[in-house]
Amino acid sequence: MAVRKIVRLGHPALRSRSEAVTPEELASASLQELIDDLLATVVEAEGVGLAAPQVGVNLQIFVYESEPQTEREPGRYEAVINPSVEPESEELEYDWEGCLSIPDLRGLVPRHPEVRLFGLDRHGAPIDRLLAGFTARVVQHEFDHLHGVIYLDRMRDLHSLTYEDEFEALLDEAEQAGESSAVG
């Protein structure tokens, strides 16, 4: 298990479409190592999600925090291979996002509050999860990375775009309003 370098905006992998993973590839030692490395890297970066293009690999794989950390236990992360994400309704909600490949910035992004996530786990078994709120937001963000889309593309306007240290003051107000922030 190794922590890999997270590439930043400007690296072509972030703007390329990722290839689906074949069953043979998924079973290979190098791909299982990539999944281990994605898990190690997202934990090290204290992110809630990380997609393979963010370590320069254009394959349809992301990891996300499926069980958020509590005061007693660290978060649990799940790898998803060849994912698809289907919104449960047309509804959109705005909340703050950041991206490990676009350090120090935050912006308000509309996302579907409930989605269904399909794909394969690292052993090739099917995944079918109904996700809501924060976790639904994270998987939409990570899914976008597999199609060369970043959260800035999803912002309806850039007025909320803010540096993290300026954002801290905003967040204090937002926390009182029950808002949260996702970084992946």
Q: In the complex, which residues of this chain contact Ni ion (CB under 5 A)?
A: 99, 184
| Nearest CB to Ni ion, comparing residues 107 and 119 | 107
Measured from the CB of residue 50, what is the shortest distance to Ni ion in angstroms? 8
Which of 91, 95, 121, 74 minimizes the C-alpha distance to 184? 95
* Residue 142 a catalytic site member: yes
> Number of helices and strands (H, E) in the chain?
5, 9
Give the E-state strand segments of the chain in sequence order: 49-51, 61-67, 76-87, 93-99, 102-111, 114-120, 126-132, 162-163, 181-183
Measured from the CB of residue 57, what is the shortest distance to Ni ion in angstroms? 14
- Quick one: residue 72, left, alpha or beta (phi over 0 = left, psi -120 to 50 = alpha)? alpha
Which of 34, 87, 88, 86 minimizes the C-alpha distance to 62? 34
Measured from the CB of residue 28, what is the shortest distance to Ni ion in angstroms? 26
| Nearest CB to Ni ion, comparing residues 81 and 99 | 99
| Nearest CB to Ni ion, comparing residues 25 and 155 | 155
Measured from the CB of residue 126, what is the shortest distance to Ni ion in angstroms? 25
Task: Say which of 65, 78, 97, 142 is annotated catalytic.
Answer: 142
| Nearest CB to Ni ion, comparing residues 38 and 99 | 99
Residues serving a catalytic function are 142
